Chain A
Amino acid sequence: MIFPWKYTLLSLIILCSIMVISISIGPVYISSFEILKIITNKLQIIEIEKSWPQSFESIILNIRMPRVFLAGIVGLALSISGASYQALFKNPLADPYLLGIASGAALSVTIVMTQFENSSLITNFIPVSAFSGAIICVTATYYISTKQHGSTNTLILSGIAIASITQACTSFLMLYSNPDLRPLLSWILGGFASAQWDQILIIGPYILISTIISISISKYFNLIQLNQEHSQQLGLNTQKIKLIIVINSSINTAAAVSFAGIIGFVGLICPHIIRNIFGGDYRNIIPLSGIFGAILLVLSDTISRTILNPVEIPVGILTALFGGPFFLYLLAKTKNQN
């Protein structure tokens, strides 16, 4: 198997340095030396006398670090699912939310937020309901499309139909149940303000496993790009591969959505940027766009929590502001080359 070790290692190094920088910036100023001491002390590498306030330790270990890591794995998951869907549907406009994941998750979160009185129950229940809403919607989409011979077009169309129905229900519930829509809107816009290690432990395994699966089947993504007859002549069971891609990417996206909300643009744009730089081989695109997605989201989140200090802005706004111009620049560049 050809794997782009060189580029992967290089981009991992970039990702790691960006994560380190992100951990050292924040609205509360803590010097890099102190951060280093706090982390080494926590890892119990060497005994250091504690010379910093306990609040610094909370901020570094329980706010910034989980936040940076959560942003990283969510970026990875969204970007890889985006790339997988683009390969599967041979459509550059496919994004991780194409099969109704976002609208399914949004509907079930809206139901929980507007219909239940007990608010502490709501907070604990949101990730579970987002995840299950997303999975139910994708399953419905897939089931309906297989009834119609399961071509990729019917899959997309039934995805759009399911998304429209769930969106209509969401709008209805939003308009007629709860006067305070701020929390709901802030979940829908996505963000990492309440990131915790527990959340990483819960969604990390899903994202890890489905990332490994995506990378190991990435050579088939190239074969899918051929038309169906050709790929079948090469001995590929396209139906089976498609099913694996749909299930795998859906779980990946649903995990990303469950705590972070719906963060747009990352999954659409990262695979394109990588494709523009490294060409159309999915063995490159899958791992590299995953790492690039992580970089983009970690950067955006760092900006979103520092730029309007002491206020947070939804990270989805920044991914678009940040990724959009870069994407346009790449588009202009490729056109000139042609």
Chain B
Amino acid sequence: MKNNLITTMMFLIVALSITVACNSSNTDSNQLNSNQNQKNDTTKYPIDILDSNGENVRIYEKPEKIIVLDSAAVEILFAIGQGDKIVGTHSFVTHPEEAKQIPKVGDAFSINIEKIIEQEPDLVYIFFNKFAEDLNKNQLKVLYIKTLENDFSNISDQILMWGKITGNQDSAIQLSEKFQDQIENIQSKINYQSESPKIFIDTTDLWTSGPNTLMGEVLELLNLSNIAHDISGYAQLNPEIIIERNPDFIITPNPSTFKNNPAFQEISAVKNNKIFTLQSDALSVPGPRFPEGINELASLIYPDW
């Protein structure tokens, strides 16, 4: 109880200071950009969007103020030139640079309902159903779409959906075509007949992703054989299994976990010094940068990528 109280108080203080800091600059840019976007206005409202509960959410007119509690959706909106419609995000949004200026109205575990109401949004987009009830109670229009857990080709559907919602279908179609081209381009460079190198993706502490995850699918696309092929979702793999399955490549944020542990010296990735660290977080956000992430991983594995 005591913990909760202190945490809430500290959160309030931080939240207040962010509101004060961000409010003034945000309104100016809204007015500047809205003129440019009108020519792409191709959607006929009202529109119906199917949410992850299987219910239709009807949007009556073009939303001008959107709260987006999802990193991928923020990236999509900025990529189709609608970033200025976002009036609130959650605290884990890192990309693009402009998104950092947007007020933070929640995080993965909680939302600040008062700050959301204060922004008077036309639409609140959430990836986690828990918040829906609170938001609905306050007469807010809520769109709940679960974060993609697998099947990354759905990213292009989400791009098109945002194009429809924001009345910006031309740029959305362009972006989604670009996305599909990038994926096809990657596919065309891979020789699926050749033997697939074995790979271990370490998130930290031997936690890894199974085949039914976005990362698992990326490995399949790149003709890599995931040594964690028999786990579901995310789990901590037993170190013995890693030695036995002997990966040719290891991707990890902490190479020293493998390089400094005498137990792992016989693994071919360690012997041949094929331990790499991904520099960008593109593969952890299923948005328009996702193909960049796939390319980064591919360039670490295939020398002439």
Contact = CB atoms under 8 A, between A and B. Distances in A.
Interface stretch (B41-49, B149-157, B234-242): B234-242
Interface string B201-217: 00111110000000000
A63 B263 contact: yes
B7 A175 contact: yes
B91 A176 contact: yes
A164 B2 contact: yes
Contacts of A55: 243-244, 246, 266
Contacts of B305: none
B207 A186 contact: yes
Interface in B127-154: none
Interface stretch (B19-27, B81-89, B251-259): B251-259
**Mostly helix, strand, loop or mixed at chain A's interface?**
helix
A310 interface: yes
A313 B266 CA distance: 25
B92 interface: yes
A183 B207 contact: yes
A270 to B, nearest CB: 26
B241 A310 contact: yes
Contacts of A124: 256
Interface in A7-61: 26-28, 54-55, 58-59
Interface stretch (A189-197, A233-241, A252-260): A189-197
Contact of A167 (B3, B10, B237): B3
A58 B254 contact: no
Nearest to B245: A310
A123 B234 contact: no
Contact of B264 (A58, A186, A197, A312): A58
**Residue of A124, A167, A179, A197 ringed by the most chain B CB atoms within 10 A:** A179
Interface in B157-208: 203-207
B257 A311 contact: no
**Residue of A120, A191, A311 ringed by the most chain B CB atoms within 10 A:** A311
A171 B3 CA distance: 8
B36 interface: no
B113 interface: no
A172 interface: yes
B240 A26 contact: yes
A27 B236 CA distance: 13
Contacts of B6: 168, 172
Contacts of B50: none
Contacts of A28: 240-241, 243-244
A127 to B, nearest CB: 13
Contacts of A308: 235
Interface in A59-89: 59, 62-64
A193 B263 contact: no
A120 B256 contact: yes
Contacts of A119: 204, 253-254
A41 to B, nearest CB: 16
Contact of A311 (B10, B107, B231, B261): B231
B263 A312 contact: no
A6 interface: no
B238 A312 contact: yes
A126 to B, nearest CB: 10
B54 interface: no
B280 to A, nearest CB: 14
Given A27-B238, A194-B239, 13 more contacts: A58-B266, A119-B204, A119-B254, A164-B3, A168-B2, A171-B3, A186-B205, A193-B205, A194-B261, A308-B235, A311-B236, A312-B206, A312-B237
Q: Which 10 A-B pairs have the closest CB atoms?
A: A62-B263, A183-B204, A168-B6, A310-B241, A311-B235, A312-B236, A179-B92, A119-B253, A120-B256, A28-B240
Interface of B: 2-3, 6-7, 10-11, 14, 91-92, 107-110, 203-207, 228, 230-231, 234-241, 243-244, 246, 253-257, 261-266
27 contacts: A26-B238, A54-B266, A55-B266, A58-B264, A59-B243, A59-B263, A62-B262, A62-B263, A63-B263, A164-B2, A168-B7, A171-B7, A172-B10, A180-B204, A182-B204, A182-B234, A186-B207, A187-B205, A191-B236, A193-B205, A196-B263, A197-B262, A310-B237, A311-B237, A312-B206, A312-B235, A313-B236
